[in-house]
Amino acid sequence: MKGVILAGGLGTRLHPLTLITNKHLLPIYNKPMILYPLETLRQSGLKEIMIVCGKEHGGDFMNFLGSGKEYGVKFSFALQDGPGGIAEALGLAENFADKGKIAVILGDNLFEESFSEEVEKFKSQDGAKVFVKEVNDPGRFGVAEVKGDRIVSIEEKPHKPKSNYAVTGFYLYNFDVFNKIKRLKPSERGELEITDVHTMYIQEGNLSYAFIDSFWSDAGTFESLLTASNRAAERMKNSNP
């Protein structure tokens, strides 16, 4: 099973910080943001990892990350021509997946737990799996409507969320995800939405989920970037008393 880090986009919500660099190369406390999702994948047992980024900063990622040897992994890189959405970016990893299952993480998501058990279990499962977290501001995310052991709908950044359950940026997919991406049509934003992919899995009865109890944050706004940095600083202080 292989891993994919999606690190594209223009990061417009973080202007002027992102006018001359990619959002995922900004610092979270004492290291660039991209190293946090990388560590999550590595701790989850994934050693072959593709970085999907915008063509404007592809060289920056390659110069910083190198081959992956320093991190005990092997990197591949794919360049997204424009801000076409998360699903479009994921579609670039089809050949890399080599007909196998994949774990996908958004490059601005920070987790404090390993998904090693979930990844191992998913190797013998089908469909897709998402991970949800109860939050105070669900309207910033894809919001899951949960009934019992099923997700019955996911709405992207709704004005009136049906729950407080945000779909976090860690996903597990079978290879059919790429066929689903090919069937997508651009949203009103002109992008291919990952929520539409999840809706296809829901319609098939093939989307499972699990709750995240530990800390999780994105880092796509000034507030969440600060929250993530403060949390990283606190963790380092506690680990080095």
**Whole-number pLDDT of residue 90:** 98
Strands 2-7 and 102-106: parallel
Peptide bond preceding 186 in cis form (omega within 30 of 0): no
Q: In the chain, what are the domains?
A: 2-239 (3.90.550.10)
Query: Which residues are registered as beta bridge partners of 154?
Result: 144
Cα Rg, the chain, nearest whole Å:
17
Give tens-digit pLDDT for 71-100. Answer: 999 999 999 998 899 999 999 999 999 999
N- to C-terminal Cα distance for the chain? 37
User: Is residue 139 within 8 Å of 159, Cβ to Cβ?
Assistant: yes
Give tens-digit pLDDT for 214-225. Answer: 999 999 999 999
Give tens-digit pLDDT for 152-209. Answer: 999 999 999 999 999 999 999 999 999 999 999 999 888 999 999 999 999 999 999 9
For the chain, the average pLDDT equals 95
CB-hemisphere CA count at 13 Å for 199? 15
Residue with tokens 């991406």: 181
Please list the alpha-helical segments (H only) found in 44-104: 58-65, 86-91, 94-97
pTM for this model (two decimals): 0.96
User: Is residue 34 within 8 Å of 17, Cβ to Cβ?
Assistant: no
CA distance 176 to 13: 32
